[in-house]
Amino acid sequence: MPPEQPSIESSYSWIRLAVSIALSTLGCVGMWSLVVALPAVQADFNAPRAEATLPYTLAIVGFMIGGIIVGRLADRFGILPPLAGGTILMSLGYVLTAFAPSLSVFAMISGVTIGLGGAASFAPLVADVSLWFDRHRGLAISLATAGSSLAGVVWPPVVQHAIAAHGWRQTHIGIGLFCLATMLPLSLVLLRRPVAHTAARDAASGGNTMQSIGLSPSVTQGLLALAGICCCIAMAMPQVHLVAYCGDLGYGTARGAEMLAVMLGFGVASRFVFGWLLNRIGGLPTLLLGSAMQATALALYLPFNGLVSLYVVSAIFGLAQGGIVPSYAVIIRELFPAQEAGFRISLAISVTLVGMALGSWMAGAIYDWTGSYASALVNGIAWNVVNMAIATWLLQRQRRHVVGACVAGAAPG
């Protein structure tokens, strides 16, 4: 039996986690500010609603592509250089959008700067956190993913108030300067690079996908990407359309916004519970549990459309979906070497944005076609079932290979 590896966790690991959550909360402003500014931008440029959503769409595309690029750079140079570069790019982008002469220019700047630059503040930071923990890795990863949800709680009311008081252009300049002044000093805490992971530690943590699950790395990554897209198609329906749904039911968009805040808030709270589960049972079982809970919560939207019941169901949905995205990062750390964590975790998490974008569009298209959100909910549940099927199949393969390895190890030489 090989000697037990010393723990890589320290007090600095937890300080680094707290700073990463703060950076993610600040840097993910682009995922929410462009939505809040949409009515003001639309009125300023006198554009149709569909065209006014283009800046947000391109920013999300930038988040996806930028996350993968930054993840690869972080594997090679550490997280600080690409994070600092992304912060400068994002901050510059907010200032530049304030001087955009047209909606098309505003949209392009948003995608290339706010999207690509802000991407460094989410998935790559989660990957970096995973390198500093072993005993509490699941909890640390789960908490690290909370930054984007916290951004959704903190930024919208601030941005809305600033736009009402000063206009969207001045607000964008303020966001850019504020993020630059706060994020660059905070990022210096991440200057230290992780201690090199030995082959023995990787083997002990299951970091060889060929041995632990019996699939090639590319097939495993592809299946996880497909699973991420499927679960986020389902996740997008209530997150994106809940406000409009409440308006259709006659409760008003303000109630819908409150329900969305409740959903995001319970999603942050659930990170603690799912983090504990990730440490106890591992990534694939937690993914399957979270996915099953999300499908159940989606189904609850079908029979319950009263005001109080919608608040309750939204809270349940938040509790369910809060543990899904962290599971992918833990699964990657369980199946792949630590040296590939930045790229592979960023890829796994970034492609979920494809599911969010596709899911929001599909729900809207189904609503336009049918006149209600019932079919859109059923569509989301169906995609969720696909996610559960992938997770179940991978979990069965993993358990068969673990049993096979134990049997082989117990066999006499």
pLDDT given at position 211:
52
Q: What is the residue type of 30?
A: G
Q: How confident is the model at residue 27 (pLDDT cuts 50, 70, 90)?
A: very high
Q: Is residue 404 very low, low, confident or very high in pLDDT (cuts 50, 70, 90)?
A: low
pLDDT(406) > 80: no
The C-alpha atoms of residue 212 and residue 288 are separated, in whole angstroms, by 18
CA distance 319 to 333: 24
Are the C-beta atoms of 18 and 70 separated by less than 8 Å?
no
Q: What is the pLDDT of residues 319-378, one digit of tens each?
A: 988 889 899 999 998 899 888 888 999 899 888 888 888 888 888 888 888 888 899 899
| 170: its two tokens | 């001045």
One DSSP character per residue, 242-297 reads HHHHHHHHTS-HHHHHHHHHHHHHHHHHHHHHHHHHHHHH-HHHHHHHHHHHHHHH
Determine the pLDDT at residue 353.
84
Q: What is the mean pLDDT of the chain?
A: 86
N-term to C-term CA, the chain: 16
What's the confidence (pLDDT) of residue 200?
45
Q: Would you say residue 205 has pLDDT above 50? A: no
Structure tokens at 289: 């549990």
Question: Within 10 A of 264 (CB to CB), how many other CB atoms are there?
Answer: 24
DSSP type of residue 189 = G
- 405: confidence class by pLDDT, cuts 50, 70, 90: low
* Band (49; pLDDT cuts 50, 70, 90): low
Could you tell me which of 176, 6, 18 has the C-alpha nearest to residue 91?
A: 176
Task: Check pLDDT > 70 for residue 244.
Answer: yes
Q: Hey, what domains does the chain have and what are their CATH numbers?
A: 12-195 (1.20.1250.20), 202-413 (1.20.1250.20)
**Digit-coded pLDDT (tens) for 51-98:** 777 888 888 889 889 999 999 999 899 999 999 999 999 999 999 999
Q: What is the pLDDT of residues 246-296, one digit of tens each?
A: 888 888 877 887 888 888 888 888 888 898 999 899 899 999 999 999 999
Question: For position 238, what pLDDT does the model report?
Answer: 85
Work out the pLDDT band at 407, boundaries 50, 70, 90.
low
Q: Based on DSSP, count helices (H) and strands (E) in the chain, helices before strands.
A: 22, 0
For residue 251, which phi and psi values (nearest 5 degrees)?
-85, -15
pLDDT of residue 239: 81
**HEC profile of 96-107:** HHCCCCCHHHHH
Confidence (pTM)? 0.82
Check if the beta carbon of residue 29 is closer than 8 Å to that of residue 153.
no
Residues 6+ apart with CB under 8 A from 264: 149, 152, 153, 318
11-20, 36-45, 268-277: least confidently modelled range: 36-45
Q: How confident is the model at residue 181 (pLDDT cuts 50, 70, 90)?
A: very high
d(CA 400, CA 4): 25
- Give, as one character, the DSSP assignment of residue 5: P
Q: Residue 94 CA to chain centroid, in angstroms?
A: 22
